[in-house]
Structure 1
Amino acid sequence: MTTHALATLKPPKQLKRVLAAHRVRVCLGIVTIRQALLSVGAVDAISPIVAALSESGYDVDAEVGGAFRQLDAEQVAGLTVDQQLALKAAIRVLVLYVACDSVTESAVAAAAPAAAAASMASAGEDMSEAYCEQLLLPVLDVAPRLEALYEFFCTPPVAKIPVLGEALSVLRGSSIAQHFVLARGKLALAVSDSICHNLEFGASKVWTVIAEQIVVVSLLQMLDKCMPVMARLGLVVQRDEGDPTSLMTVKSKDGRTLRPDGVLRDITGRVMLAKWEDNAGQLLVAINDLHMKNAAWTPLYYGDIAYLPCFAAAGMYLQFFAIPRGGVLTQQPHAISPVLDLSCAEERAHAVVMTIKFYQLLQAQRKLYPAYVLRAGTDLIARHPRGLFERAL
């Protein structure tokens, strides 16, 4: 059996039986790393891996513990790519079936979906849905408080973010790289585009629109597509094109447009979930537009949300904000991220982390958005089924 074939194996029945029969002994640390690896089967394939671990200074005769289960196979010197895959598969088996140290049965069970996704990804399957599910854990019952959003946005997901090899190579050596994992599939492709797609910046606002679309908006939409059908938000993108179908007032009293440059709506295309503003090169102007192009706070637009998630972009710069709930006078945007330089791959990787958090925030607020929205400047007409009366609002 080849090491590549080994990487696609399901946990062997032999190891399951051994560990089930000697669960107490395992918890006491009787099973060593060498014994556990060789129990996986295919000794000819595993033996070189055990030897490589030993030569790398790893104590293969030590008991299985949490440190081994977190071992990064790609950092083990002397292993081929196939051997790395096999080692990862073996570690996954131990994650699923060895309970020792501080790892509880519930924690092992929680790790199972991620381990399964990584194992099948090694076999070439697109596990984008499983990766997406893990990235959004823990599920937020309620959205974080406004004061806690900055820390929330700057904290990477617990699970690693899938990415193609090209993007992983670009990030190699940076601190953010540890939060990404080599994978395949549509989500990994979208993440890679966000990080290393070639962007151009110029004097026109169109370059800002292209950059934000590639780095943030497209990834938001892909995350939504990877969710189970009933859990999707829809994420219909609308940009200000001067058409008469806006859900917000077209002009203010002084003639200034109140249409946001971009809006994310729910699957019906009516409820506003988030918005953003663009500028060719002045981020402060885009931030000011977040405030100025905002209708008076009303449940007709915003439901019961405590704040409206948004971002501002100008040239190569992008920053996430939240507009707090207010009254007739709208509140100033509250910064929930640092300013990101999209000309830098490492900062674009941070933008990926924050985009995932942005989507997680939208999911947390989904029950608070208004159930019905009235279009500004449009008559809502109700007619009696037999034509006895007609009412317009």
Structure 2
Amino acid sequence: MNADEEQVVAMVTIREALLSVVGENVTFIQPIVEALSGLGFNEHAQAGLAFSLLEADQAAGLTVRQRLALKAAIQAVAARLGAGSATRAGELRVGVVWVFPSGLGLSELKYSLKMFVLSCMLPPSGHAESAAAGSLTAAAAECGHRACGIPAALAGTAVAPGGVLDDRSFEVALAMLAVVPGTPPPATAAELRRWLEQPLGRPLPLDPSAYNWLRYDVDSRRVLHLVEATPGAFALSATVFTALTPGPPGGSEIALAVKLGPLINALFARLQALTGLLPHRLDHDTDRSRGRLRPNFCFWVDDTLVFKGEVTAKSHDMRLAVEKLGSKMGHVWSPIAFGNLPYLPCYATAGPQLQFYAVLKSQPQQPVSISKQFDLSVVADRVEVVHHVVNVFRLLCWCLRPLLPPYPVTVGAVLERPPGTTITILADRVVKKIKYFASNNKGVEYNDLANVYGATRHAAGLIHAIDGPTLSESKGTYQVVLAPLGNRRRPTNEGELRRAIQDVLHGVAALHQAGYVHRDIRWENVLCIGQDSWILSDLESVAREPAQTAAGEGSFRAACWTDETLDERGMYTTASDVQLVGELIETCKILSLGAQCVELKAQLTACAAASRPSAAEALCHPWFSASAPL
């Protein structure tokens, strides 16, 4: 390939190549960009031959997920460059590395591979080289013609003079997503159903040959008004065409999740890559959700769960899938989790059957149907599902996003905390697990945790255990279910700081009354639960008072301790907890504090432990008086 040919093909920057990977967004790619910078790659430079020859493992400090994303971007660029060379040679050579989920049959593996190749090769915007674009439609046709009867001969695409395609996907996507400015969100389930059925800003784009096939197919004529022949929108048309292609029949929940990818995941990702209107992340994991009350499919915008789904493998299990939509919402609609959202759009899938539902704020455990039931093995039904999915994107983008909480709690997320700790955030509670508790939580006794959660179950200012804690004898796994939900919003003024410190002192006083100390009081362990209320969390650091802190493998020492935390004997006492509460005032970083606040901070952090007030005594300080000036 000469320099002119490489310039024609490499029309994307490294940043665009990374963002074109399905599931990636600006936040997710930032560590990759920084790692590439260390190798001399500028994110705004064209992704040319040097980038295509890069090994993902050369980028240091990346997680497995980030390395896979980088590898996919490199492979996509290599495919584009290889396509330019193949234009002259009459062939297209594409190398793909893919890690398949377990539990897939041979036909499902083939389908998954083809979907991955399509997602890697779709151009994010601008221009696409003719051989690559032609191969997309051909690959999609090969993937689907046996399943839905679309002839491969109808899957070709027109090539502009000079062999370069002018891709109109950006303008078509914007027109398709357009709504009347200021359109209010649908308020009821009936209005939401009408919203999903309403026409798009313009119909779904299809390659003219694919559109003609639908036009002449008797079973698909009922949905022709939802699509249009759109020459030139190559990237978006290919994504829509792929979404209309049924996968192999049958399979497990994992296989069904793979087959839903082109219908939902890839469509959302393509619309975001083209328009940038709805930064999001998603996760479709049927395995981890078992026993955790976590949704099978989670779609987050601004770290708020805004769309979810449940998957069951058998077509007769639709009722079970719908029940899971409600049962996994908890008993209370949490403003901390969902802000001012009036409902949560979602879907239930049972085998080839899919139906859209809404979980209403007024009845979160009783999902309401907002669509008919679709058969994903029927192309016409898949057209309607794609139409509904795009309308969900419009709904989230234009109507619901302004209603999201300013300080979100990522419901559905599974947080990994070393060593061996996982925190699963549910709609109204948190499930905390620590594997190999004795070795991963040294210096803390399980019996102390069981006692302290029981003794403080009604105490103000503390998180509460609503189930457990338990410790399995076989693997030594510790588990506790905690409530209420809270975010890590810190106070922004002295009034909020006063309320937060007061709440924390109430929690600390309750611990001390029960004979325990917390030992890890810092803002990361203080949660705002709404309405200017805070609680102290993470009681998995408690110990009986006074606590030994001798150096050694089994000792406990928190990073928030200062030189004044321990007493003169090197013991951790109730005065040590009080000193850490005083440090909260210091580390909150509020620029101007009143004299009474400064006075209390000095008392709480006095160098001599004996000079500090108890938590109960500190609550009597004038700063906490309702008439105390700010």
Task: Give the TM-score normalised by the residue count of structure 1.
Answer: 0.58
Mapping of residues 1-393 of structure 1, within 5 Å:
124-139=165-180, 141-146=183-188, 147-173=190-216, 174-183=221-230, 184-195=233-244, 197-227=245-275, 229=276, 232-240=277-285, 256-266=291-301, 268=302, 270-281=303-314, 282-295=317-330, 296-326=332-362, 330-363=364-397, 364-374=399-409, 376=425, 377=430, 381-382=522-523, 389-390=583-584
What is the total number of aligned residue pairs between the two structures? 254
More divergent stretch after superposition (359-368 vs 173-182): 173-182
Shift of 1:168: 1.4
Q: Distance in 1 between matches of 2:169 and 2:286?
A: 33
Shift of 1:124: 4.1
Q: Distance in 2 between matches of 1:208 and 1:358?
A: 21
Is residue 212–residue 313 contact of structure 1 (8 Å, CA) maintained in 2?
no
Is residue 286–residue 311 contact of structure 2 (8 Å, CA) maintained in 1?
no
Q: Distance in 1 between matches of 2:320 and 2:209?
A: 35
| Structure 2: tracts of 5 or more residues without a match | 1-159, 411-424, 433-485, 489-521, 525-559, 563-579, 588-630
Q: Distance in 2 between matches of 1:331 and 1:294?
A: 6
Local SS of the residue matching 1:223: helix
Is residue 226–residue 383 contact of structure 2 (8 Å, CA) maintained in 1?
no
Local SS of the residue matching 1:367: helix
Deviations 1:221-245 (A, max 9, x none): 2122222x3xx222201234666xx
Is residue 203–residue 228 contact of structure 2 (8 Å, CA) maintained in 1?
yes
Is residue 142–residue 365 contact of structure 1 (8 Å, CA) maintained in 2?
no
Shift of 1:198: 4.2
Q: Distance in 1 between matches of 2:210 and 2:392?
A: 21
Is residue 201–residue 208 contact of structure 1 (8 Å, CA) maintained in 2?
no
Deviations 1:319-348 (A, max 9, x none): 11111113xx62411111111111111111
Is residue 200–residue 207 contact of structure 1 (8 Å, CA) maintained in 2?
no
Q: Distance in 1 between matches of 2:339 and 2:329?
A: 15
Percent identical among aligned pairs is 23
Shift of 1:169: 3.3
Q: Distance in 2 between matches of 1:343 and 1:166?
A: 21
| Structure 1: tracts of 5 or more residues without a match | 1-120, 244-249
Q: Distance in 2 between matches of 1:302 and 1:169?
A: 44
Shift of 1:306: 0.8
Shift of 1:144: 1.4
Is residue 240–residue 259 contact of structure 1 (8 Å, CA) maintained in 2?
no
Local SS of the residue matching 2:298: strand
In structure 2, the residue matched to 1:39 is: none
Q: Distance in 2 between matches of 1:355 and 1:205?
A: 21
CA 293–331 in structure 1, closer or farther in 2 if over 3 Å, else same: closer
Quick check: which has more Rg, 1 or 2? 2
Local SS of the residue matching 1:201: coil
Q: Distance in 2 between matches of 1:257 and 1:170?
A: 45
Shift of 1:372: 1.2
Q: Distance in 1 between matches of 2:325 and 2:401?
A: 21
Is residue 239–residue 267 contact of structure 2 (8 Å, CA) maintained in 1?
yes
Is residue 337–residue 405 contact of structure 2 (8 Å, CA) maintained in 1?
yes
Shift of 1:181: 2.1
Q: Which amino acid aligns with 1:382?
A: W
